[in-house]
Amino acid sequence: MVQQFLDYVEKNQDSFVDRLRKAVAIPSVSGDPSHRQDVFRMAEFLQGELKALGADNVETRDPGEQDFHGTKLPLPPIVLATVGTDPKKKTVLVYGHYDVQPALKEDGWTTDPFTLVEDDQQRLIGRGSSDDKGPVLGWINVVESHVKLGLELPVNLKFCLEGMEESGSEGLEKIIYSEASGYFKDVDAVCISDNYWLGTTKPCLTYGLRGVSYFHLTVRGPARDLHSGVFGGTVHEPMTDLFAVMSKLVTPTGKILVPGIYDQVRAMTDEEQKTYENLAFEMKELHDAVGNQINIHDDVRSVLQHRWRYPSLSLHGIEGAFYNPGDKTVVPACVIGKFSIRTVPDMGMDKVTELVEKYVTDEFKKLGSKNTMKIECSHAGNHWLSSPDHWNYVAASKAVEKVFGVKPDLTREGGSIPVTLSFQDALQKNVLLLPMGRGDDGAHSINEKLDRSNYISGIKLLGAYLYEVAQLE
């Protein structure tokens, strides 16, 4: 049966690419209110596809409203669906997100970001191709293949698809907890396809993610923007204060300067050291993915350790700053600096916020400025670590061998999917990350792509994994 499925996927590639084309054409950017209707449209599209394939109980849950800078916005629905309800079979819950990062042609895309284009290297280019529409459709393609072949799935499949992942998954955690004994009752294991291979050549299974705590640092001074010729040198300037504080958060070599942060980081063991050996990753892949040789660490092991198991602090932007081309001699009245900390075991989210608040407040005081400062954590998601010895990982490993003929690497990741931990805690089931795309797909960047071969093999992999789950007792 599994062979029939694999052959079907191989032969019907173009129809799967067409489905991805339709999905990419819906600009479901969750972070931009002007696209909120498109995020809803994307939810409709997925429900339509699932219903057309005969899925049962295609339902939605309403996460409520979002407070976006004082304006209330409706949150897109959580889409739930079930394929198969045979009590003799295992039940696998799959999660994915149907929202995407913003993308504008002007950012430097070679082609229109919301028109899927296949280039001469068979790369499917478009926003969301890899993060995370390709993988979400991957599961739907598995279902379609079985329907078309007249085969039942080897397990019962439940879907949980959200439209706010790129903006912090607002409202989903509560729904996961309340459905643990409802829609998600009977789930035996969870599988999430929303990350990437380590490099470009070898598949991996992922058992850890960093968390993220995001901060807004606001400095306010004059009642309005000022002329720097008239007022420069006579008033405390908010941007100057902000720069002074932001420059004390992290060193140019990545050391976080907030006291106490490293005290919470779990100590390295000899056993853990072994997990960084023999992985399919080279410095060249880092250089290629970055597009330059600007690495802080010179060996693969430290690169991965700093990506997976040490915290990092990144500065993201300044709201209110003058950033248009050209010169403008203005003193901005209010600026908001944004930064985030990627967190790792055993850092606590509340402790991180407390340490940041105290340090930033102290550093601002030292400036002796008469401006006002406010520091707040805008959202936080915890880190996650799973046990790769579980049958869920054994099944996935066998599936990788079946489809790719190699044993997968076991990896962790530096990015965050906060609800991963919610699924693990709320359902008390093992969670597996089973990636489809490659490390150089350029998620969140320009020219995001998913190689056709990764898409097609990925569909095979997701299906083969379900067969392996069914075969384990």
Residues making up the binding site for substrate: 194, 227, 329, 342, 416, 444
Residues annotated in a binding site for Mn(2+):
97, 131, 166, 194, 444
User: What x-and-dash track marks residues 166-185 binding ligand BES by CB under 6 A?
Assistant: x-x-----------------
Q: Does 194 contact ligand BES by CB under 6 A?
A: yes
Could you tell me the sign of the dihedral formed by the alpha carbons of 297, 303, 309, 315, in that order?
Answer: positive
- When CB distances to ligand BES are compared, the closest residue is 415
Q: Which of Mn ion, ligand BES, none has residue 168 at its interface (CB below 5 to 8 Å by kind)?
A: ligand BES
Q: Give me the least distance between CB of 439 and ligand BES, in Å please.
A: 9
Which residue matches tokens 């944004």? 338
- Among residues 386, 301, 313, which one has the least CA distance to residue 343? 313
Binding-site member from 204, 303, 331, 417 for ligand BES (CB under 6 A): 417
Q: Which of ligand BES, Mn ion, none has residue 415 at its interface (CB below 5 to 8 Å by kind)?
A: ligand BES
Query: Which residue type does 164 have?
Result: M
- Among residues 354, 410, 407, 413, which one has the least CA distance to residue 380? 354
Name the active-site residue from 38, 49, 132, 165: 165
- Among residues 312, 210, 212, which one has the least CA distance to residue 261? 312
Q: Does 221 contact ligand BES by CB under 6 A?
A: no
Name the active-site residue from 38, 49, 99, 241: 99
165 catalytic per annotation? yes
Rounded CA separation 198/435 (Å): 10
Q: In Å, how far from its chain's centre is CA 141?
A: 22
Judged by beta carbon, residue 100 or residue 242, the one nearer ligand BES is: 100
Interactions with ligand BES, residue window 349-388 (CB under 6 A):
381
Q: Candidates 9-17, 147-155, 162-170, 331-339 — which segment interacts with ligand BES by CB under 6 A?
A: 162-170
Which residues make up the interface to Mn ion (CB under 5 A)?
131-132, 194
Q: Give me the least distance between CB of 462 and ligand BES, in Å please.
A: 16
- What is the bridge-based pairing of β-strands 208-209 and 384-385? antiparallel
Q: Are 264 and 346 in contact (CB under 8 A)?
A: yes
Q: Are 395 and 472 in contact (CB under 8 A)?
A: yes
Judged by beta carbon, residue 132 or residue 144, the one nearer Mn ion is: 132
Judged by beta carbon, residue 79 or residue 226, the one nearer ligand BES is: 79
Q: Does 462 contact ligand BES by CB under 6 A?
A: no
Half-sphere exposure of 275 (CA within 13 A, CB side): 20
Terminal Cα distance for the chain, rounded: 19
Residues annotated in a binding site:
97, 131, 166, 194, 227, 329, 342, 416, 444
Structure tokens at 236: 């405390």
Judged by beta carbon, residue 75 or residue 164, the one nearer Mn ion is: 164
With left for phi above 0 and alpha for psi between -120 and 50, is residue 54 left, alpha or beta? Answer: left
Judged by beta carbon, residue 184 or residue 207, the one nearer ligand BES is: 207
282 catalytic per annotation? no
* Alpha-carbon distance values, 202 to 231, 399, 406, 411 (Å): 59, 14, 8, 11
Q: Are 297 and 332 in contact (CB under 8 A)?
A: no
Q: If DSSP states are collapsed to H, E and C, what string results for 419-449?
A: HHHHHHHHHCCCEEECCCECCCCCCCCCCCE
User: What x-and-dash track marks residues 306-335 binding ligand BES by CB under 6 A?
Assistant: ------------------------------
Q: Candidates 63-71, 291-299, 394-402, 416-424 — which segment interacts with ligand BES by CB under 6 A?
A: 416-424
Binding-site member from 418, 437, 442, 463 for ligand BES (CB under 6 A): 418
* Catalytic (active-site) positions: 99, 165
Which residues contact ligand BES (rule: CB under 6 A)?
A: 131-132, 165-166, 168, 194-195, 212, 381, 413, 415-418
